[in-house]
Amino acid sequence: MIRNPGPFLVVVVGMALVGVQALAETPATSGARLEATRHLERGLRSYDVQQYEEAIAQFKKGYQLDPRPEFLFALAQAERLRGNCRNA
């Protein structure tokens, strides 16, 4: 018998919340992932020719479709080179 159910309830509720979070973050569909990759490629082309505003816009669009870490890295680099270290 559990004498103090407090810690047990905290663990159970915590596990339930983690499960709900995992379900909410489902991977992007293959179509969304493909479109996100296109935005990444467009952003990288803009980045290469120092068109950072356009690159940032493309990286943000791609991240909305498929929140992969490479979008955040590319976005931070474009913001940094644009001179906006606070957003980077």
Domains in the chain, number:
1
Which pLDDT tens digit goes with each residue over 15-41?
554 444 444 555 678 999 999 999 999
35 inside domain: yes
Domain limits at 64?
A: 30-88
Domain for residue 44, yes or no? Answer: yes
Which one-letter amino acid corresponds to residue 85? C
Query: Does 23 reside within a domain?
Result: no
Q: Is residue 58 part of a domain?
A: yes
Please answer whether residues 80 and 88 qualify as being in contact, where contact means their C-beta atoms are separated by less than 8 angstroms. yes
Task: Look at phi and psi of residue 50 and say left if phi exceeds 0, alpha if psi is from -120 to 50, else beta.
Answer: left
The residue among 69, 78, 12 whose CA lies nearest residue 46 is 78
The pLDDT of residue 3 is above 70: no
Instruction: For residue 54, tell me if it sits in a domain.
Output: yes
Residue 16 lies in a domain: no
Specify whether the CB–CB gap between 51 and 63 falls below 8 A.
no
Q: How many contiguous H segments (helices) and E segments (strands) does the chain have?
A: 4, 0
| Average pLDDT of the residues of the chain | 81
pLDDT tens sequence across 46-56: 999 999 999 99
Confidence label for 8 from pLDDT (cuts 50, 70 and 90): low
